[in-house]
Structure 1
Amino acid sequence: MLSANRSASGLVFALLSAATFGISGPLGKSLLEAGWTPGAVVGGRVGLAALVMALPAAWMMRGQWSRLRGGVALMAAYGAIAIALCQFFYFNAVARMSPPVALMLEYLAPIILVGWAWLRTRHRPGTLTILGTVTAMLGLVLVLDLMSAQHVDPVGVLWGVAAAVCLAVYFVLSAKSDGVLPPLVTVAGGMVSGALTIALLAVVGLLPLGATFGTVALLGGEASWVVPLAGITLVAAVLAYTFGIIGTQRLGSKVASFVSLTEVLFSVVASWIMIGDVPGPVQFVGGALIVAGVIMVRMDELRAPASAVVPDSAPEALPAADLATGSLPAVNRPA
């Protein structure tokens, strides 16, 4: 009974994580349309989240600060790539297209990782993984609505794919992070690293920062700029990551990763309610195919034998069973 209750509560936390992550796109879009640059949105979100999470992370590490030495490089890479650059690329995509469409592009990350593992190991993925990849690629064509006369912003697509690449790197880093530091500490350290990365890029002029401090269009009316900024920081970052950690601990990473796919649906609903931005019917079908393709790849992972053999040339970044099947480490997204 205790195990069943734990699984049930884990499902609730995992769904809450997906729902809170899902509102980041429309909230960020409201700031972008009010004149904020993508760099300012990401910098504000990551910087404020770092301040909020620093104190509880420090409390968790009391008496065991020596453990940080083994995790500094991990947190630096996690923050710079998986948090700062991933979010920056995603919000650049959101500035040029619907938030759900940008999120669908980002969810091509598992497919990118399959191709990367196949290329590095020369080991053919499982049949279900290949079918899932083809399904997701078909979904991408529909999401971009390439068969219609509708204009597709190629720059927005490139930003979305860049976010997917960063998310793929996050999967690899997460596979190496197990047991190094408590998850909350890893996220907090990553937020600090991400904030420093944004600041450095801004100082050298590679990341324009600009913001307005008036009202934004939200929920069919107007609201202060503080509302969406607080939302993407406290709800879509601090709470989302915290709920995700609890849900993953109670469900296990594989089950939690399936639940995290509902973020696309939550993003669609949030975009409709908050900013009146909804993808077309064809794009809905494409999004469903992308999610179905990723699920097929994950199912192939679940079917993989635990004792799968890996070629000697396999990189250390992925677990053995993952590389042997061309499938993925199952973790939640970072954006």
Structure 2
Amino acid sequence: MLAAGVLWATVGPAQVFADSPAGPVALGGARILTGGLVLALVVLATRRDAFRTLTRSAWPPLLAASCATGVFQAAFMSSVARTGAAVATAVAFGVAPVSTGVVERIALGTRFSRGWVVGTCAAVLGCALVVTPDGPVHVDPYGVLLGVVSGGCYGVYTVAAKRLTGDRVDMRAAVSVTLLIGGSFLAPWTLSRLPDLGTARSLLVAGWLGPVTAALAYSLFVAGLRRVTAATAGTLSLAEPLVATALAVLFLGERMSVPVAAGSVLLLGGLVVVSIPGRPSRRPERAGGLPSAAADAPGVRVRTGPRRVRRGSA
């Protein structure tokens, strides 16, 4: 999960370094389309029957994740354009953990541990401090609304992907289809800027954004979803603004103010709290005495009843 967040955090700095003439929406569409195509080719080369695992029951969450992917790209980048990167990031990533937890509670009925609540509150507050701008802030109401929409889309995608991990589907095949369908929603903007996307700068940044920050990062994300709850994944996504801030300080010459430093510590502490698995007093057991993996997932409470003992048995 954290590895995916680190890779996603390089998207912004990569765009700054490349200074591509293509618009942000067109570049975002090219990113997920390229990532989906690369991942699909890898899946076909390693397991040809992978796409057959996408049965009829898998398509509802798959389509939900695809729609969330496409809408997130357009909404977030438009929010940045209207109200600035700081405000857009604060709104989107502040809403993302909460929306993920709420959607998971409604869709999957997952209960939240006390550690998740404390860690999430600390991480959200730290995120707000990390992206606090130094100068005057321009808050556009429509831009803020788009940031809320993008944060909600993140929650929908995470829960839909978590639902897919419970089915017997090849998750790499599922991610490639998600990226390709989501990218097709942005195809009008991508196709209209093909000349700009064909420049050396654009091709260079697309070579990093597509295969690495889309194909590889999303694969790592869904792999992590097998071991943690969707709510925990939403909170761990806040590693992205933390890493992005560190990259800006190290490579873009930005200074770390006192609020940003305090927010970084608070955000990092929240991520640590959420990442530590709880210690349930009793573990549910599977056949053969093996502990259930769900009992070890951070952010999950598992109820276990008293164990019945048959009289007269050894």
TM-score, normalised to structure 2, is 0.67
Q: Deviations over 1:71-94 (max 9, x none)?
A: 33332222221x222233333344
Q: What is the alpha-carbon root mean square deviation over aligned residues?
A: 4.6
Match of 2:44 among 58, 72, 87: 58
In the other structure, the counterpart of 1:192 is: 180
Question: Match for 1:68: what amino acid?
Answer: L
Conserved in 2, the CA contact under 8 Å of 1:121 and 1:323?
no
The separation in 1 between residues aligned to 2:191 and 2:102, in whole angstroms, is 33
2:136 is aligned with 1:162: no
The separation in 2 between residues aligned to 1:127 and 1:160, in whole angstroms, is 27
In the other structure, the counterpart of 2:62 is: 75
Distance 1:73 1:118, change over 3 A: closer
Question: Match for 1:84: what amino acid?
Answer: G
Match of 2:212 among 206, 211, 235: 235
Question: Match for 1:173: what amino acid?
Answer: A
**What is the percentage of aligned positions where both structures have the same residue?**
20
2:288 is aligned with 1:302: no
In the other structure, the counterpart of 2:287 is: none
Distance 1:289 1:111, change over 3 A: farther
Q: 1:232: how far off? A: 0.9
Conserved in 2, the CA contact under 8 Å of 1:140 and 1:286?
yes
Q: Deviations over 1:132-156 (max 9, x none)?
A: 454345435534649x873143455
Q: 1:185: how far off? A: 0.8
Conserved in 1, the CA contact under 8 Å of 2:21 and 2:197?
no
The separation in 2 between residues aligned to 1:271 and 1:192, in whole angstroms, is 30
Q: For residues 135-284 of structure 1, what are the structure 2 equivalents within 5 Å?
A: 135-139=122-126, 141-143=128-130, 145=132, 150-154=136-140, 155-178=142-165, 179-199=167-187, 202=188, 210=193, 213=196, 224-244=201-221, 248=224, 252-253=227-228, 262-272=239-249, 275-276=252-253, 280-284=257-261
Q: Which ranges of structure 2 fall in alignment gaps of 5 or more residues?
A: 285-293, 303-314
Conserved in 2, the CA contact under 8 Å of 1:37 and 1:208?
no
The separation in 2 between residues aligned to 1:28 and 1:51, in whole angstroms, is 21
The separation in 1 between residues aligned to 2:6 and 2:174, in whole angstroms, is 22
Distance 1:130 1:244, change over 3 A: closer
Q: Which ranges of structure 1 fall in alignment gaps of 5 or more residues?
A: 1-13, 217-222, 309-318, 327-335
Conserved in 1, the CA contact under 8 Å of 2:43 and 2:50?
no
Query: What is the aligned length?
Result: 285
Q: 1:224: how far off? A: 2.2
Question: Match for 2:33: what amino acid?
Answer: G
Q: 1:307: how far off? A: 7.9
Structure showing greater Rg? 2
The separation in 2 between residues aligned to 1:18 and 1:52, in whole angstroms, is 20
TM-score, normalised to structure 1, is 0.64
In structure 1, the residue corresponding to 2:208 is in which secondary structure? helix
Q: Deviations over 1:133-188 (max 9, x none)?
A: 54345435534649x87314345544433322111112211221113311211111
Distance 1:298 1:109, change over 3 A: farther
Q: 1:24: how far off? A: 1.0
Q: 1:34: how far off? A: 4.7
